[in-house]
Every structure is written in structure tokens, then in C-alpha cells.
Amino acid sequence: MATAKALFFLGFVFLSCNLIGVSGVLELRGSFIPIIPNEGPAIFDVTKFGAVADDMTDNIDAFRAAWGQACKNSTIQAKVLIPAGTFRAAQTMFAGPCTSPKPITVEVIGTIKANTDLSEYVSPEWFTFLEIDGFVLTGKGVFDGQGAVSWPFNDCRQTNGNCAPLPSVSIFLSLKFDKVNNSMVTNITSLNSMQFHFHLHGCNNISLFNLNITAPGNSPNTDGIHISSSNGIKVFSSIIGTGDDCISIGHSTSNITITDITCGPGHGISVGSLGKRPEERSVNGVTVTNCTFVNTTNGARIKTWMGMVPAEAKNITYEGLIMNGVQNPIVIDQSYGSKTLRTASTSVWKISDIHFRKIKGTTVSNVAVSLQCSILNPCEGVEIADVDLAYAGRLANTTFISSCLNAKAIFGGILNPPAC
């Protein structure tokens, strides 16, 4: 038990440099998480509630029962344990608010496999964690979305546009965190999601680290982590390889920190896409540092639709990045979603205070820096500094260039390719 307590303490220290220990209490940005010195967590093993690790039985009732007891009926910190073995589970939800002492932990040791009967999903989430304050998802287990069964039905490129999102919803995802605050996710593997692996929505102060997120490079819409309508999210020290964005930062977000990510295959680390729907609001404060991109289609990218309601994407920094064989290392695309190639953007979104710094490596495109901004709202305050990329594509004797349109960019330091 002493080891478990130490792990809890160390895990929460990683959450924020603002943690303060006072009289056995951790202060986590206004949320107080008690550390009970002489008692380990109460263990709620799902097999004690009827779960069977036979790779056949649907275990959602046992999972929910164990969660209900841990969340509501423990007088000490509680842990739901999913032990070694392969457990099947259909769509399920772990919902708060919880009344047991914080944090509530779910530790996954085994493998959880999604139900592949798509008709049984009534909403787009496989696992939902809802309205929990002080939550830990940990263990070295696997969430296997078994996405291969659904990918052929969702790949518009292979069905000539006759594709239907699964299952009759906009985006299907493995793990959704909805209104979860002051929490962390660590050491989990997400494998072959049907579409998004992780989606954080309406969340505050969550750290995700030491994750392994994996899907084939040709699997459609399998974003690693998508963040929307959230504040104070940290993602670090993880390996992500998917068929879409490794990490995508959606609308209405602020204070997002991403560092030490290995991305590839995939579409890079993107801010956006933004502006597709009228309810989408501004993005302010995104920092991406010390990440490596391997054979991705994009590296550092900001993308907006033309949009219907004006908003902003500002205070965004990509710094200290390594590109290995990346197709489009640095991109601002304000014509995202346009069916006409090279359409001049009339996006109502304003992009400003953007920094691409200390980026090096190789690209297979002769246009390594592409800043394609809006005619109505030219990009302002875009810095390109110490970008040292080498062309490693197949074209011989090609010109290695930067391309700028409606971008008020400032170039400095080492510049390969040269400035616009």
C-alpha cells in the first residue's frame, strides 16, 4: 500500500508545477485532493462484480457496478481495478459527481475490447468519463477499439464519397472525457480506435502522459487526441501514430501545452480545423515544444475553414521540432475544407501572434513553409526563425521554397528554405 500511495503522490506532482503540499493536502489550482497517510485506496475489482475475462462476455454491468461503488460509497480513496485478461465491453459511462474522497482511480492492467456490433452504439462514444473532479486513469492496460471493422465504411476516399460516419453520428471515439477536471491519464495504450482515440471536451487542468496511441497510417479519422472547449490541458512524453492528426486542438480552447511527443504516422500536430460551425469560439495559447515527426503528412499546422462567425487563433508557438521525411513541415491553411484547390481564402478567422522556431530536419516537399492566409484577415505577427530543413524528396533540381499569401511574416536566423 505504501508503494501505491507514493505513486499517487508522484503522479499528482506531475500534474502541475503549481501543486502545493499543505498539511497532507494537495492544492491543485483551487481543487483540494486529500492524501490519507495511513490508508491505501479501497479496491473495487471488476471481477468481484461479475466481470469475466473470456474475450466474449459483455462486462459493462460489472464495470458500472464497480464504478458506482468506488465513486459514491467509499470512505477512503477508491480504485476500480480491471485486472489482467481480455474483457469485452459495449458502450459504457463512468459518471460523477463522485462523493468518495479524491482522487478516484481506474487502473487498467488487462485489455478491454470494444463491441464490434455497431448497431448497439446509440451515441458516438465507447467509454465516457463524465463530470468527475479529481480522477486518475492509469495502469499499463489497453483499450482496443477494434476499429478495423468500421474503417471501410468511413473512408470517403475509397467509397467515392458514399461514406456514412459511424454509427450515424459525426465522430466516433474510444475515450471521451466530458467536464472532467483536475485529473490525469497515464501509461494507457489506445489501440485501433474506430475514429478518435481520445476526446477532451469541457475539461480543465488535465495532464496526459506516457501514452501509446496506435492505429495504421491509412485508418480514417483516427486522431490521437482531440481537445475542444477546454483549458489548461498538458500532453507530454507520449508516442502517437495514427491515420489522422496525432493531436488536434479544436475550438474554444486555451492554455494548451504539448511537449516530448513522437508523432508518426499521422497528419501532425494541428490547431484546428477551426470555423466549420457557427458555435466555435477562439483559440488562445497553444505551445508545442520538443516534438519529433516521422514520415507524417504535416508537421506544425494551423487550419481554418472559411467560417461563418468571426473568431481568432492567437498566441501559438511551435518550437524545437524535428522533422524526419515530413511532407509539409510548416503550414497555415485558411482554405481548409475547400473543394477547389488553391482557392484564395476569405476566412473570417483571424490568425495572429504565431511563432515557428528552431525547426530542423528533412522534408519530401519542395515547399517546406506554406503560409496561406485570408484575404479578409491577413495573418499578423507570424514569426519564422531558425528553420533549417533539407529537401529529401524525389524531384531532381527542384527549387526549395517558402510560400506566403496574405501573411505578414517576419523571418530571422537560419532559414532553409529561404524567406518568402
CB-facing half-sphere around the CA of 34: CA atoms within 13 A: 13
Kindly state the cell numbers that stand for 37: 497517510
Q: Are 214 and 187 in contact (CB under 8 A)?
A: no
Return the percent helix, strand and coil in the chain, to nearest 5.
Answer: 10, 50, 40
Kindly state the cell numbers that stand for 378: 491577413
Q: Which long-range contacts (CB under 8 A, 24 or more apart) does 339-342 make?
A: none
Kindly state the cell numbers that stand for 94: 463512468
Q: Which long-range contacts (CB under 8 A, 24 or more apart) does 335-344 make?
A: 335/306, 335/372, 336/272, 336/273, 336/303, 336/304, 336/305, 337/273, 337/276, 337/305, 337/306, 338/306, 344/375, 344/405
Q: Please list, in sequence order, all residues whose beta carbon lies within 8 angstroms of the beta carbon of residue 51, skipping any fewer than 6 positions away.
A: 57, 59, 62, 63, 66, 82, 87
226 is catalytic: no
Catalytic pick from 197, 226, 251, 267? 267
Q: Please list, in sequence order, all residues whose beta carbon lies within 8 angstroms of the beta carbon of residue 100, skipping any fewer than 6 positions away.
A: 70, 71, 72, 73, 74, 75, 76, 77, 78
Q: What is the DSSP track for 372-383? A: E-BSSS-EEEEE
Q: Are 351 and 379 in contact (CB under 8 A)?
A: yes
Question: In this structure, what are the phi and psi dihedrals at residue 413, rounded to the nearest 5 degrees?
Answer: 75, -155
Q: Are 330 and 303 in contact (CB under 8 A)?
A: no
Would you name the residues annotated as active-site residues?
Answer: 267
